Amino acid sequence: MTADDLLHLLRDQHVAGEVKKLLGVPDEPVVAALHELQEGHTRLQHALQQLAEGQQQLVLAQARTEQRVEQLADAQARTEQRVEQLADAQARTEQRVEQLADAQARTEQRVEQLAQAQTRTEQRMQQGFGELREAIREMGSQHQQDFALLRSEMGNLGRSFGSWVEDTVTVDLPPWLERKHGLVVRGELATALLVDAAGREHEFDGSAEADGSSGRVLLLCEAKARVHERDVQKLVSKRDAVAPTLDLPVQAVLVGQWLHPRSGPASAEAHVILVSTRQLRRD
């Protein structure tokens, strides 16, 4: 029988009376004793409950401690792993430093070799410059003679081209213009220096007035050994520059010994008469 069962029986009046008769004690002391026993039992239960709660807290605290210890163990393992990684990295760094030191030593050796080679090169260059200066002095007089001859030949070529231009523009061009374009040249096609509105001078190989089906025009002629598209554009630029300062409409004419294929369409678009020297004599 437990203490709770005993207390339950003693609360019964009949049981309590029988107990008093057996013990031979008055009612009051028995009642007091019963109350004290009941209070003691209550305190004991309270203490047992506190003890159980304390044990529960200890169990929880122990669980938290074990969890924290496990976390610390994991952190320690990670720390040791990181330390090992750092040690490996340090070893690799030291190896790389050693490699760089070796490379630096080789570089310094190579620089020293290059410096020696540079010294030898400078010595050879100084020697070569001396020989070159001597050769130049020896060739100087011959070169002067060659340059004089070249200038003479260039002068002859210039005079020959000037004569070709003069013959082509003044002799062959006027009758061809009359035959092919109905332009009758008045007077002689002569070199002209015309000024545009900005005061800039523009030279033409030949210029003269001519009568045609649309009235009188001013011919502005150029003669080239080789005519490219850019030569057409240059003549057009000169024509357009001086045209506003002239009293007559302008007709540009371009003559060449050789005509580039693109010069034909360019001249037609710009209303420039284009003719080769072969055509002058053939047509």
Residue 131 has pLDDT above 80, yes or no: no
- What is the per-residue pLDDT across 209-226, written as a single tens digit (0 to 9) for each? 999 999 999 999 999 999
Q: How confident is the model at residue 180 (pLDDT cuts 50, 70, 90)?
A: very high
Evaluate if residue 23 carries a pLDDT over 70: no
pLDDT of residue 156: 41
On whether the 182-282 domain is CATH 3.40.1350.10, my answer is yes
Mean pLDDT of the chain: 82
Asked if residue 183 lies in contact with residue 219, where contact means CB atoms within 8 angstroms, the answer is yes
C-alpha pair distances (Å), 51 with each of 40, 48, 56, 60, 63: 16, 5, 9, 14, 18
Q: What span, in angstroms and rounded, lies between the C-alpha atoms of 117 and 171?
A: 70
- Sorted by where each begins, the domain ranges of the chain are 1-156, 182-282
Return the minimum-mean-pLDDT range out of 98-102, 162-166, 213-217, 232-236: 162-166
pLDDT for res 199: 96
How much is the average pLDDT of 110-130? 77
pLDDT computed for residue 67 by the predictor: 92
pLDDT tens readout for residues 257-266? 999 999 999 9
